[in-house]
C-alpha cells in the first residue's frame, strides 16, 4: 500500500488544493442534473477556503469547451457558487470537447506547478456521456497529461455500462463515483482531503497502475510504449513533457 505524508488536511478549510472541474453541459446531462450539480457543489465547496487555501477552475464541455474561470478567477465561495448556478445546458448531445478540456486542465495545473504552488492538483470530471469521443485518445491524454494528478470522476448516467467502464480507467484508484450515490459528496470531500496527503511513492504507483490498465485496452496497444521511460512525480518536469496539441489534433 502507498505511504502517505504525515502532514495532510483533515478539514476542508485547511485543504491546499488546485481543483479543475470539467463539467458536461450537453443535452445528455439535462437541465435538472446540471442544476442539482451546481447547487450541490456550491454547497460542498463552500466548506473550503476558496481563493486562499483552495483554488477552483471551471471548464464546461459539450461539442466545444469553455473556460468559465481559471484557478485565479474565483476569490471566494460566493463567486464560485454564482458561476455554478449560471451554467446552462447546451442543445447538442456531443461531448467531443471532453478530451481537449482535459488538456486545458493540464495546462492550468502545469502553470500552477511552474508558480511553485504548494497546492495538490485535482481534476474532477463530471459527465453523462461519451458521445462522439475517441475513447483511445482520451485515455491517451489521461495517461500522459493527467497521470500525476488526483482524478475524480462522477458518472451522471449510471445505466451506461460503457461510460462506467471508461470512467473507471480515467479515475484514480477508488475515486470513481456515480451521481445517484447517497454518500457522493462525502466521498468527494474525502477524495479531496486524501489528495492533500499523496506522497511521491503514491504518484509513481498510480502511474504504473494506469499504464498497466491502459496497456490492456486493445484500442491503444500500439501506443503503449510512448513515454514509458518517464515516471516523473515532479510536476514541472512532467509538464515539460506534455503532449503537443499538434501531435493529436487530427484524432480528437
Map out the domains of the chain with their CATH numbers: 12-251 (3.40.50.410)
State the first-to-last Cα distance of the chain, in angstroms, to the nearest integer. Answer: 36
Q: Using one digit for the tens of pLDDT, what is the confidence trace for 127-140?
A: 999 999 999 999 99
Task: Report which of 106, 126, 127 is spatially closest to residue 239, judged by C-alpha positions.
Answer: 106
At residue 115 the predicted structure's pLDDT band, cuts being 50, 70 and 90, is confident
Q: Using one digit for the tens of pLDDT, what is the confidence trace for 6-22?
A: 468 899 999 999 999 99
- 219 compared with 198, residue with greater pLDDT: 198
Does the pLDDT of residue 107 top 70, yes or no? yes
Which of 6-15, 71-80, 195-204, 211-220 has maximum average pLDDT? Answer: 71-80
Q: Do 18 and 119 contact (CB within 8 A), yes or no? A: yes
Does the pLDDT of residue 226 top 60, yes or no? no
pLDDT, position 7? 67
pLDDT, position 4? 40
At residue 122 the predicted structure's pLDDT band, cuts being 50, 70 and 90, is very high
- Percentage of residues of the chain with pLDDT beyond 70: 75
Q: What does the mean pLDDT of the chain come to?
A: 84
Which residue spans within 76-208 are E strands per DSSP? 120-127, 150-155, 176-178
Q: Can you give the pTM of this predicted structure?
A: 0.81
Q: Using one digit for the tens of pLDDT, what is the confidence trace for 228-250?
A: 333 333 444 446 555 444 354 44
Q: Do 214 and 207 contact (CB within 8 A), yes or no? A: no
Contacts of 89 (CB under 8 A, 6+ apart): 25, 26, 27, 29, 30, 31, 34
Q: At CA 147, angle to CA 141 and CA 152, rounded to 5?
A: 95
Amino acid at each position: 500500500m502507498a505511504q502517505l505524508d504525515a502532514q495532510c488536511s483533515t478539514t476542508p478549510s485547511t485543504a491546499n488544493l488546485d481543483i479543475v472541474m470539467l463539467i458536461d453541459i450537453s443535452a445528455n446531462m439535462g437541465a435538472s442534473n446540471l442544476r442539482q450539480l451546481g447547487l450541490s457543489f456550491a454547497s460542498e465547496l463552500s466548506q473550503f477556503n476558496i481563493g486562499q487555501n483552495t483554488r477552483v477552475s471551471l471548464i464546461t464541455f459539450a461539442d466545444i469547451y469553455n473556460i468559465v474561470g481559471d484557478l485565479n478567477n474565483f476569490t471566494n465561495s460566493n463567486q464560485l457558487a454564482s458561476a455554478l448556478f449560471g451554467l446552462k445546458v447546451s442543445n447538442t448531445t456531443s461531448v467531443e470537447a471532453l478530451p481537449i478540456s482535459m488538456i486545458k486542465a493540464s495546462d492550468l495545473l502545469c502553470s500552477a506547478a511552474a508558480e511553485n504552488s504548494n497546492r495538490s492538483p485535482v481534476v474532477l470530471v463530471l459527465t453523462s456521456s461519451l458521445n462522439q469521443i475517441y475513447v483511445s485518445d482520451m485515455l491517451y491524454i489521461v495517461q500522459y497529461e493527467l497521470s500525476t494528478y488526483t482524478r475524480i470522476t462522477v458518472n451522471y448516467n449510471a445505466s451506461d455500462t460503457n461510460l462506467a467502464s471508461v470512467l473507471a480507467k480515467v479515475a484514480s484508484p477508488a475515486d470513481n463515483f456515480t451521481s445517484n450515490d447517497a454518500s457522493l459528496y462525502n466521498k468527494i470531500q474525502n477524495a479531496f482531503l486524501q489528495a492533500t496527503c499523496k506522497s511521491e511513492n503514491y504518484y509513481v504507483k498510480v502511474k504504473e497502475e494506469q499504464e498497466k490498465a491502459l496497456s490492456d485496452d486493445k484500442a491503444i496497444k500500439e501506443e503503449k510504449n510512448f513515454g514509458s521511460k518517464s515516471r516523473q512525480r515532479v510536476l514541472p518536469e512532467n509538464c515539460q513533457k506534455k503532449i503537443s496539441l499538434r501531435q493529436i489534433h487530427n484524432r480528437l
